[in-house]
């Protein structure tokens, strides 16, 4: 159940970050409001997941997977260029998360 909560937390964090971009520096009201709502809601499942998961693993997965997903959204939705450095960096993030998970989370 902790990983389900982590997934929900990541999805809300990614939604909040996407709204941050769409808010155009707080100039668009609805995306600005949704940004705060999504971030606020996202901390609830993250906090609940921390009941069972080590904070080192949970935070690394939350921030790392969120970063990787936002990078993909930036490339696909906002037409940011896909570079070799971005691709290698996403791969390293994923390798790091797998390594943390293999380090002894039960």
**pLDDT 10s per residue in the chain (106 long)?**
999 999 999 999 999 999 999 999 999 999 999 999 999 999 999 999 999 999 988 998 999 899 999 999 999 999 999 999 999 999 998 898 888 878 865 5
Q: Which domain holds residue 68?
A: 2-102
Question: Can you tell me the distance from the alpha carbon of 43 to that of 9, in angstroms, rounded to the nearest whole number?
Answer: 6
Look up residue 34 and give its DSSP letter: H
Question: Can you tell me the distance from the alpha carbon of 27 to that of 30, in angstroms, rounded to the nearest whole number?
Answer: 9
pTM, entire model: 0.88
Percent of residues in the chain assigned helix, strand, coil, to nearest 5:
80, 0, 20
Tell me how many domains the chain contains. Answer: 1
């Amino acid at each position: 159940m902790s990983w389900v909560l982590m997934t929900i937390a990541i999805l809300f964090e990614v939604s909040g970050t996407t709204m941050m971009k769409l808010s155009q520096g707080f100039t668009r009201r609805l995306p600005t409001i949704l940004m705060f709502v999504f971030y606020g809601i996202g901390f609830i499942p993250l906090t609940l997941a921390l009941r069972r998961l080590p904070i080192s693993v949970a935070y690394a997965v939350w921030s790392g997977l969120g970063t990787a997903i936002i990078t993909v959204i930036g490339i696909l939705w906002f037409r940011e260029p896909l570079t070799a450095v971005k691709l290698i960096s996403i791969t390293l993030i994923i390798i790091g998360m797998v390594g943390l998970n293999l380090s002894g989370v039960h």
